[in-house]
Amino acid sequence: MLTSDHLTMTDEAVYAERGDYPYAEWDLLRREAPVFWYRPPQYEPFWVLTRHEDIAWVSRNPKIFSSAQRITLETPDAVEMFEAQIEQRAEMFGLTPDRPPALSYMDSPRHRHLRQVLAPCFTPKAIRDLEARFHELAAAYTADFVAILDEEGGADVARHLSGRLPVAAICELVGAPPADWDDIYAWALGATGAADPEYQRDGEDAEATFTRNMTALNTYVTELVQKRMAEIDGTGTDMLSRLVRARIEGEPLAFHEILFTIFNLLVAGIETTRNATTGGIRALLEHPEQLRKLSDDPSLMDGAVEEVLRWTTIAPHFVRTAKQDTEIRGQRIRKGECVVLWYPSANRDETVFDDPYRFDITRDAGAQIAFGGHGEHVCLGAHLARLELRAVLGAVLPHLPSLEMVRAPEFRVLHLQLAEFRRLVLRRKDG
């Protein structure tokens, strides 16, 4: 009989040791217990959902499943760090700590109204207008990467290539000046990677590193928002200008809503695409026959991007809370209980994807749900992420056949919220 003792999906150390997601566990759950009541150590019990169909159904039904209570699994230490930041912000802006800290924590109608303010920046047409600029930037960043590789005998994709276009893209959309991009990137990395000694200063532990970087980023975004609110002339088209001008039910957005929205867009917009790009380059190098197909026929790039998104699935999970009693596959979900949507499992669901453990850039991977499934909380920046991936993979593609990995990249999952591929070092092949 399947019990909680068999499962390790909430153990970050196991992810790092394995170097991948616990796919075998999710395969077993999809077959034997697709809606499973899990009692893991260090977490409150929750329902595990592993099938594509069920995850998509929950995502399409926000009237039944709320995002307002919590959106991710948290250990007690992580909860304390997060709550300390919320309390710090509340004290700074005179709020009650129970106010939603970001768009992702909101239910409609507030969520829908705020999303509508931002949506014009992320429409397919708006993203197409950025295409030439992003391809130009990707080519320049790739040239820099190749120069480092040839000068030093190797270069790290994760450090020297994958993050640069996501930083430029989200900062341009937000309206952050180019002179600040390197600092923003450093603070975002320091906050998400606070447990890594690489980001810690002498005498710091993870909490101190997290607090230092979050405080720096908070301060920067606060000053940026204040400056834009003072200078706004009503004509800006970047996200910050739209937020400053916005009216919801006749009222302007509160300062803290603008601040939190910009802050979270910066952090989320950088890390997800950075790691999807690194994971995609790794996948192409580990599957040389697929790399040859793409090199021979670059028109396959759109399909390759969808397969990279399915294959890497950078966001492992989201949490939803039942607002009423309901039922999934005969299991009664009571009001107040949490369901956890495991997206990597959905993207390996054999009832949706033929031979799901085969990396195949020619498959129809359009059903992948790497962007959070379906419904109103689907990732606002999905079209932007696809453009960034197309641009970087297209720029680096001519170089990849002559390159090889020095070693497999380090893999870890940060707070069970973000998969990270670290130190993907490439070098020229001999001969």
The string of pLDDT tens digits covering residues 158-172 is 989 999 999 999 999
The string of pLDDT tens digits covering residues 372-410 is 877 888 898 999 999 999 999 999 999 999 999 999 888
Calculate what percentage of the chain has a pLDDT beyond 70.
Answer: 94
Amino acid at 212: R
Which ranges of 194-338 does DSSP label H, i.e. alpha helix? 206-231, 239-245, 255-286, 288-296, 301-312
Q: Which residue has the higher pLDDT, 91 or 147?
A: 147
Q: CB neighbours of 405 closer than 8 A, spacing ≥ 6?
A: 282, 285, 286, 424, 425, 426
What does the alpha-carbon distance between residue 338 and residue 209 come to, in Å, rounded to a whole number?
A: 30
What does the alpha-carbon distance between residue 422 and residue 431 come to, in Å, rounded to a whole number?
A: 27
What does the alpha-carbon distance between residue 98 and residue 92 come to, in Å, rounded to a whole number?
A: 14
Domains located in the chain, CATH noted? 4-428 (1.10.630.10)
Calculate what percentage of the chain has a pLDDT beyond 90.
Answer: 62
Per-residue pLDDT at 304? 98
Let me know if 296 is exposed, middle or buried by CB neighbors in 10 A (0-12, 13-18, 19+).
Answer: exposed
Q: Is the pLDDT of residue 31 over 70?
A: yes
Q: Is the pLDDT of residue 232 over 80?
A: no
